[in-house]
Amino acid sequence: MSDETTIAGRTYTTPRYIVHLIKSISVGSGPMKLAAAFAIVVGAMLDLSAGSAHAEGDAAAGEGVFNRCKTCHTIEEGGPPKMGPNLHGVYGRQAGTAPPGSLHSGKLEESGVIWDDQTLTEWLAAPARFIKGVKMTFRLTKDQDIADIIAYLKVNSPDAE
């Protein structure tokens, strides 16, 4: 399915359809054509990695990351809200449907968001950008931490598939 391709002295492993794409674009080459082909290939590879190569989450490591959430959240079933809501079962649930914490804004429930890999990833990287007006200012900056905490939230969500 994939092939090694050398462009501008660097070797890339690319799915075969992209190799065909490059070859078809660089026919009759010339520097501009090559540059264009290169841009397309790099773009395609970035797309692929965005779609498929999301860091694998590790729930055990996520438990460690959760230490940073504990000031504001509990995770055990029936745990009390703190500043934020209890997060047991949050994966697969609609935002804002757990008993609210003391810093409740009302924006989560208005958002209609369902918490899954994608929505949690965006939320944890930048809560107030993902849902305007929310009161969670804490965010995670490392993709691996985000993947790990999502895996941890998932194992603490009995209804998640």
Q: Quote the CA–CA distance of 66 and 79 in Å, as a whole number.
A: 15
DSSP letter at 84 equals S
User: Which C-beta is closer to ligand HEC: that of 22 or that of 57?
Assistant: 57
104 Cβ contact partners less than 8 Å away, ≥ 6 residues apart: 85, 135
| Least Cβ distance, residue 98 to ligand HEC (angstroms) | 4
User: Which C-beta is closer to ligand HEC: that of 18 or that of 136?
Assistant: 136
- Taking residue 144's Cβ as centre, other Cβ atoms within 10 Å add up to 15
| Least Cβ distance, residue 77 to ligand HEC (angstroms) | 14
List contacts with ligand HEC (CB under 6 A). 65, 68-69, 71-73, 83-85, 87, 90, 95-96, 98, 101, 103-105, 107-108, 115, 124, 134-136, 138, 140, 149
Query: Is residue 115 a contact partner of residue 92, using CB atoms and an 8 Å limit?
Result: yes
User: Which C-beta is closer to ligand HEC: that of 18 or that of 120?
Assistant: 120
